[in-house]
Amino acid sequence: MNIDHIRLFVRVAATNNISKAGQELRLSPAVASSYITRLEEELGVRLVHRTTRKVSLTEEGIAFLPYAEEVLASVELALTSVGSGRYTPRGVLRITAPASFGYMHLVPGLKGFLELYPDISIDLNLSDTVVDIVAGGFDVAIRSAALKDSTLIARALAPDRRIICASPDYIKKQGAPETPEDLKNHDCVILSGIDNWSFKTPEGDTHVKISGRLHLDNGSAMREASVEGLGLSLNSTWSVYKQLKRGTLIQVLKDYPLISGSSIWAVYPSSRQVSPKVKAFIDYFHHLFGTPPYWDYQE
């Protein structure tokens, strides 16, 4: 069984397009089509439904896909183990990540990553919608929420520390809260219905129900609303570190850390061996972010 045929099939499954998959692997549409045909002939089943408008996997193709992915991962690992440094990670690396985090931290880091690994190409999907990694054909996902799917493996890239911020203008007009209980007398910018903030205090954990006139469903918009003086907001330090450095936002309630324990995770399917390109990506960005991460700004 030809590895190049299997590699193309996996890309067809991810793109639903034979020509696009072939282009990624530097194959003409005719050659790519012939590769799929040869693989089907060798297996004795039809793997792909082809129409003039779209391509989709047959039931046999869906069943074959995880084994094809496993074969490719095994080949890459085998080459790495015997390559004595001559084999480098290669291929298309499909990543999905939250939009704001991707814009601010992944995209700027890709220049160095691609220079270090010239045989890797990146297909990056930035969306705040949590997608099905396997169904979407992604190699790795970046997430900040706790892992719930037992079929996935997660590696922590960096801690996700969260703080309460306000603009200097807001503090000048309304004052700064001295204790978590003071929040009940302040305007807060509320994200996606998260109107209970939890703090560690000398007396134990406390939970405060906050209120405000502005409710938003986007973290970047919430940050900018606070910069404009519209209220206090709960933010990840990776989102507000530049504003803290510039002084357009100020951290409040420093003596009362939020109860969080969140992290930035790299997540990939447990049904596959971790491929060299995924391992290279995770190792690179774990090192780039640092411990503590470069965005964990302390005033």
Q: What is the pLDDT of residues 80-118, one digit of tens each?
A: 666 545 567 888 899 999 999 999 999 999 999 999 999
Is the model's pLDDT at 187 over the cut of 60?
Answer: yes
What count of Cα atoms within 13 Å lies in the side-chain half-sphere of residue 106?
25
The residue among 94, 98, 118 whose CA lies nearest residue 106 is: 98
Question: Confidence band (pLDDT; 50, 70, 90) for 248?
Answer: very high
In this predicted structure, what is the pLDDT of residue 24? 81
pLDDT for 286: 95
Distance CA 209, CA 195 (A): 6
Side chain identity at residue 163, one-letter code:
I
119-140 pLDDT, tens digit per residue, is 899 999 999 888 888 777 788 9
Question: Residue 5 has which token pair?
Answer: 């045929």
- What radius of gyration do the chain's Cα atoms show? 24
Question: Is residue 153 over pLDDT 80?
Answer: yes
Q: What length is written for the chain?
A: 299
Residues 6+ apart with CB under 8 A from 236: 144, 160, 161, 162, 219, 262
Cβ atoms 225, 189 nearer than 8 A = yes
Query: With 50 as the cut, is the pLDDT of residue 44 above it?
Result: yes
Better-predicted residue by pLDDT, 55 or 170: 170
Categorize the per-residue pLDDT at 160 as very low, low, confident or very high, splitting at 50, 70 and 90: very high
Q: Rounded to an integer, what distance in angstroms lies between the CA atom of residue 230 and that of residue 169?
A: 9
Is residue 69 within 8 Å of 272, Cβ to Cβ? Answer: yes
Res 95: pLDDT: 95
Rounded to whole angstroms, the Cα distance separating 14 from 277 reads: 17
Residue 271 has pLDDT above 50, yes or no: yes
User: CA–CA separation, 39 vs 195, rounded Å?
Assistant: 55
- Is the pLDDT at 215 greater than 80, yes or no? yes
Q: Say whether pLDDT at 298 is over 70.
A: no
Q: What is the pLDDT of residue 84?
A: 46
* Tens-place pLDDT, residues 3-14: 889 989 988 888
Identify the sign of the CA torsion 233, 234, 239, 240.
Answer: positive
Decide: 65 and 57 in contact? Cβ < 8 Å.
yes
**Among candidate residues 121, 68, 65, the one with its CA nearest the CA of residue 95:** 121
The mean pLDDT value for 151-160 works out to 89
Token pair for residue 164?
Answer: 């309460």
Selected residue with higher pLDDT from 297 and 258: 258
pLDDT at 156 over 60: yes
Q: Considering the chain, what is the average pLDDT of its residues?
A: 89
Token readout for 263 is 């992290």
